[in-house]
Amino acid sequence: MFTGIIEFLGKVESIQTEGTNRTFHIRTPFDEPIRVDQSISHNGVCLTVTEIFDEQEAGVAYAVTAVEETLIKTQLGDWQVGDVVNVERCLKVGARLDGHFVQGHVDGIGTVSHIEEREGSWMIGFEFDLQFQSLMVNRGSICVNGVSLTVANTEANRFEVTIIPFTWEHTQFHQLKAGDRVNLEFDILGKYILKHQALQS
């Protein structure tokens, strides 16, 4: 379980293909030790640490593996060496929930439609699969590449979010451009409500 509050930016140092799986070597400036079997969100995708290469004061290099289904259903298949990704360690019990409940289970892929600078903030528009329309609510929560955001506007299969300078600088949003694919996870509360309604009908 995560909160959608990004801790650090990680860098993809190498990629290895093993059958239909891909193993990514990530370097991240974590300020605390991590361990094998630990769950870490990478651009909103929960991945398990399988190996730790070196741990220094400047950070740690470790490996995570994505199976074929994950590569197909997320934008991890787009990753290249040198790419920067949003990373967040799992939520500690008793910690403040500054974002919203994020599982790290991506529902689908969205596409950046436009980015507009608004005198110190940025408005980013996304397009997504129409099947998720019922899960989009104005002023509701959405997780984009692992970042907990508030939906500013939504219409049909499109929505917009406003990005403050801190989020712009401390996530990989400042590297996004129109046409880029992003990982979307919709609010778990909305999913449970829809499931309950379906069972009652």
> Could you give the C-alpha distances from 168 to 20, 101, 115, 184, in angstroms and in order?
34, 21, 12, 18
CATH of 108-200 among 2.40.160.40, 3.40.50.720, 2.60.40.10, 2.40.30.20: 2.40.30.20
pLDDT at 36: 96
The type of residue at 199 is: L
* 121-150: average pLDDT: 95
Residue with token string 């959608």:
4
Domain 8-89 grouped into CATH 2.40.30.20: yes
In this structure, what DSSP letter does residue 2 have?
B
Inform me whether the pLDDT recorded for 54 exceeds 90.
Answer: no
Q: How confident is the model at residue 14 (pLDDT cuts 50, 70, 90)?
A: very high
Query: Across the chain, what does the average pLDDT equal?
Result: 93
Catalogue the E-assigned strands of the chain.
Answer: 8-18, 21-28, 39-42, 45-56, 59-66, 84-89, 108-117, 122-127, 141-144, 147-155, 158-163, 181-186
> Could you give the C-alpha distances from 129 to 111, 158, 191, 197, in angstroms and in order?
10, 9, 16, 21
Q: pTM of this prediction?
A: 0.93
Inform me whether the pLDDT recorded for 26 exceeds 90.
Answer: yes
Q: Judge whether 160 and 153 are in contact, CB under 8 Å.
A: yes
Q: Judge whether 65 and 46 are in contact, CB under 8 Å.
A: no
pLDDT tens string 56-114: 766 899 999 999 999 999 999 999 999 999 999 998 887 777 888 899 999 999 999 99
| Ranges 27-41, 85-99, 125-139: which has the least confidence | 85-99
**3 state SS of 91:** coil
